Amino acid sequence: MACTFPDSAESEADLRTTQYFEHGGNRAIYHNGWMAAARHGVPWQLVGKQGDFDSDT
């Protein structure tokens, strides 16, 4: 987060270009402007949620 401040000592070369997350059955990976995601509903509706993880691609 320090690289977002104007007087940061971190260089652009130190920045990561890949991010991965998982939350509530949803997951995604971001890399150099591209994103691949698997969604199993919206994260704010958790009650009664069932993802079809066996046929997930």
Kindly state whether residue 50 falls inside one of the protein's structural domains: no
For residues 23 and 30, the answer to whether their CB atoms sit within 8 Å is no
- Give, for all 57 residues of the chain, the pLDDT tens digit: 666 677 666 666 666 789 998 877 788 999 988 999 887 766 666 666 666 667 766
pTM above 0.75, yes or no: no
Q: What pLDDT is stored for residue 29 in this prediction?
A: 93
Could you tell me the residue range of the domain that residue 32 belongs to? 16-41
Kindly state whether residue 8 falls inside one of the protein's structural domains: no
- Split into its structural domains, the chain has a count of 1
Kindly state whether residue 56 falls inside one of the protein's structural domains: no
Q: What pLDDT is stored for residue 31 in this prediction?
A: 92
